[in-house]
Amino acid sequence: MRKKKIASAISYSKGEPAPMLLASGQGRTAEQIIAIAQEEGITIVEDAPLAALLDSVTPGDYIPPWCWEAAAKVLAFVLKSSSENKT
C-alpha cells in the first residue's frame, strides 16, 4: 500500500515570533505544493514526521512550539544550502 503524499511549506522572517505555515496538504494538494516549490526554485526538504505534525496547523498560523525544533533543523539546512549555492 502506498503512503499518501503530504507536504507543507513554512517560512520564517527575522523578528517573527515563530515560523509560519504557508501551505499544507495531502495527496493532490501536496503534489501541487511540491510542484510550485520546484518551479520557484525553493529548496525542498523531506521530513515526513514534521509534515504530518504540520498537517493539523492552519495555513497562515505560526507553527506550534512542539514543532519548533524540527522546523529549526529544516530552516537551518535550507539557509546553509542557499548560502553554499551563492558561492
The b-or-e profile of 47-68 (16+ CB within 10 A means b, else e) is eeebbebbeebeeeebbeeebe
Contact 63, 54 (CB under 8 A): yes
Domain 6-86 class, CATH top level: alpha beta
Q: What is the pTM of this model?
A: 0.83
pLDDT of 87 reads: 57
* Count of Cβ atoms closer than 10 Å to residue 7 Cβ: 24
Domain boundaries, the chain: 6-86
pLDDT of 39 reads: 97
List, for residues 1-39, the tens digit of each pLDDT value: 667 899 999 999 999 999 999 999 999 999 999 999 999
